[in-house]
Amino acid sequence: MAGCCRGSLNGWKGRTGFHRELLPWRLRRICCSSQTEQLWVLDSVPGEVKIDNSDGEVERVLQTLASLPSSLPSRKWVVDHMVSLGFSKSLSDWIGSNLKKDNEHVTWAFDLQAATDMFNSYRDRSYWGLLENPPKGLEISIVQAELSDRWHPEDVQRLKALSRRGSKPDAGKVSLHVLPNSGHWVHVDNPKGLLEIMAPNFLSTVQN
pLDDT of 124 strictly over 60: yes
Tell me the per-residue pLDDT of 66-119, one tens digit each, with 9 for 90 and over: 999 999 999 999 999 999 999 999 899 999 999 999 989 999 999 999 989 888
How much is the average pLDDT of 114-142?
87
How much is the average pLDDT of 11-17?
32
The answer to the question of residue 176 being in a domain is yes
Domains of the chain: total: 2
**Ramachandran assignment for 157, one of left (phi > 0), alpha (psi -120 to 50 degrees), beta (any other):** alpha
28 and 131 both lie in a single domain: yes
The answer to the question of residue 2 being in a domain is no
78 and 106 both lie in a single domain: yes
pLDDT of residue 203: 63
101 and 141 both lie in a single domain: no
39 and 135 both lie in a single domain: yes
pLDDT of residue 1: 30
Share of the chain above pLDDT 70, in %: 76
Domain end marker among 116, 143, 167: 116
Tell me the per-residue pLDDT of 156-208, one tens digit each, with 9 for 90 and over: 999 999 999 866 778 889 999 999 999 888 988 999 999 999 988 776 555 55
The answer to the question of residue 9 being in a domain is no
User: By residue range, what is the domain housing residue 112?
Assistant: 57-116
pLDDT of residue 58: 84
99 and 184 both lie in a single domain: no
41 and 66 both lie in a single domain: no
Report yes or no: 74 and 100 within 8 Å, Cβ to Cβ.
Answer: no
pLDDT of 3 strictly over 50: no
139 and 199 both lie in a single domain: yes
Report yes or no: 25 and 41 within 8 Å, Cβ to Cβ.
Answer: yes
Tell me the per-residue pLDDT of 17-63, one tens digit each, with 9 for 90 and over: 333 443 344 444 444 445 668 889 999 888 877 666 555 788 899 99
190 and 168 both lie in a single domain: yes
pLDDT of residue 35: 60
pLDDT of residue 21: 41
pLDDT of residue 5: 33
**pTM higher than 0.75:** no
User: What dihedral angle (degrees, nearest 10) is formed by the CA atoms of 82, 84, 90, 96?
Assistant: 30
pLDDT of residue 12: 27
pLDDT of residue 165: 86
The C-alpha atoms of residue 139 and residue 168 are separated, in whole angstroms, by 11
